[in-house]
Structure 1
């Protein structure tokens, strides 16, 4: 990391803005935290950004933080430096990004589509999006704030890109009920208690409800119920805390129940009390039965 600044803390303060700089000066250990960040950045060796550039970038990121001291304490300094160096076009940094990030994306992307060709296409577009210079805007990598691992930040972009590409290829319901039906979930609901002629309506209503969700919500369902990923692993993939992700999954499942009921009401010529009775039979168990509810695949 060439051109090391004798006072990195002062260099960061100059870029942090008056308010953030004042708060950093009052934060115990802030000077030492900046020194550690600069040291971790320099440890990248040939893949490191220029030191003054890193100090300015770090200060600019802290200027946007609600609590710059806490942000500095939790900062993924090495990853922030790597993203900056990649944005600056440092060849060794881009090679490291390929090794540590892009190669690791093969597994989550293959969950969206198992084709190696599709995964390679997504990665090719992702590389262009992140690394190619833009005339009208700064590099997208400069948007990485260092608040979480760079791999997770890029993973979110990769998953969203893959979902858009699947949809563009005609996969309107990327994570549809038929895919979920192929992977029985523990405790799946058996519909033996539903009369035979109603079972097809329940199945069709549920497929319609799943298909009505947006791409990311369907992907959450697929990862949770098909891939059986834990909330911790899913939270890491989407950059969400486990409790936040749990609430989102609960909200999606509640929405599924509501939309399944609406679709059933539209399909069945039954009095409302009978539709209510049918929904009570399955309500609260759709979270366990995304496959069991669709037991009879065509």
Structure 2
């Protein structure tokens, strides 16, 4: 490791806290992982933060990770550097955030309200929330840890903001993935049956799974979990026997679990046994998650 890389590693380690620094110094691949992260940050060129500032910021994030070496291996370093540069108000970084993140939010926002004007309004408020300086408080972008794509992290904020804006306008929405994520309630995904650091990722994976359902399946969920219709009444609506409808609902929930697992595996890049462990914790609770999350709106 040449001088600049060695200096970056030392800055990261010194900023990571005593316990994490010891683990990083002992880990065989830590220096190479830091070198990769610094290189990815530098690839932003005009949008890159100052290297020593990025190294200290990275160390601070690793100090909060249960396993700093694993966090380094899973790090989205370029996204972490971009968020840091935006928090510092670097114009090139803010322009890149607009192009790579904010403009891509129109699709999920359109699921909440089809009007382009509504998406424009949400994005305008979101830009202010993320990029405008706050008195006596750090930039919200400094809260991004780099443990998942920046696009996903910002999209959760955008969806929650959009739902609050629709609620303020007195508008109700159907069973949509965003609703499930934005309104946790007792019995839902916010329970302690998943590790603290994984809850947000599980919730985001669940969002993606529900969003992938077709309109009829989501309507089945709405009638069952929001309207509380009996299987007999739902069967009359869909011209199906209640036993057939019961199997259909079970199949939708099984599909939700399968797609949540797939999205979780992609999002966290975890070994298969660890994903299996998280899914065992979720198994059998998706019905509680749906009813509990939606009960808040009733």
Q: Please report the TM-score for the alignment, with normalisation by the length of structure 2.
A: 0.64
Distance 1:256 1:5, change over 3 A: closer
In structure 1, what is the equivalent of residue 141 of structure 2?
141
| 1:231 is aligned to 2:260 | yes
Distance across 1 between alignment mates of 2:231 and 2:143: 53
Is 1:185 the equivalent of 2:214?
Answer: no
User: Judging changes above 3 Å, is the alpha-carbon distance between structure 1 residues 58 and 255 closer, same or farther for their aligned structure 2 residues?
Assistant: closer
Is the CA contact (8 Å cut-off) linking 1:235 and 1:245 kept in structure 2?
Answer: no
User: Which whole-Å CA distance do the structure 2 matches of 1:192 and 1:19 have between them?
Assistant: 55
Displacement of 1:250 in angstroms is: 2.7
1:49 aligns with 2:49: yes
**Structure 1 moving runs of 4+ over 6 Å:** 186-189, 236-242
Check 1:115–1:195 CA distance in 2 against 1; reply closer, same or farther (3 A cut).
closer
* Partner of residue 16, structure 1: 16
Distance in 1 between residues matched to 2:95 and 2:293, nearest whole Å: 44
1:269 corresponds to: none
1:214-257 Cα offsets, whole Å, 9 max, x none, are xxxxxxx9xx99xxx95368759998979377766332346599
Count how many residue pairs are aligned between Structure 1 and Structure 2. 223
1:175 and 2:157 correspond: no
Matched residues in 2 for 1:82 and 1:122: separation?
Answer: 21
Alignment of 1:121-136 (within 5 A): 121-136=121-136
Residue in 2 that maps onto 1:62: 62
Q: Deviations along 1:87-126, whole A, 9 cap, x unmatched?
A: 0111111111000000110000001110101001000000
Residues 125, 246 of structure 1: CA spacing in aligned structure 2 closer, same or farther, 3 A cutoff? farther
* C-alpha spacing 1:156/1:176, structure 2 compared with 1 (3 Å): closer
- Counterpart CA distance in 1 for 2:218 and 2:18 is 56
Residue matched to 1:164: 164
Distance 2:287 2:156 in 1: 21
Whole-Å separation in 2 of the counterparts to 1:95 and 1:247: 44
Residue in structure 1 matched with residue 113 of structure 2 by the alignment: 113
Q: Distance in 2 between matches of 1:256 and 1:29?
A: 42
Q: Which residue of 1 aligns with 2:89?
A: 89
CA distance in 1, matches of 2:124, 2:145: 23
Q: Structure 2: which 5+ residue stretches go unaligned?
A: 177-213, 224-228, 238-251, 270-274
Whole-angstrom CA distance in 2 between matches of 1:140 and 1:232 = 29
Q: Secondary structure at the match of 1:184?
A: helix
Structure 1 segments unaligned to the other structure (5+ residues): 201-220, 264-298
Q: Which has the larger radius of gyration?
A: 1
Alignment root-mean-square deviation, CA: 3.9
| Aligned partners of 2:13 and 2:59 also within 8 Å | yes
SS in 2 for 1:56: helix
TM-score relative to the length of structure 1: 0.64
In 1, the alpha carbon distance for the partners of 2:137 and 2:259 equals 37
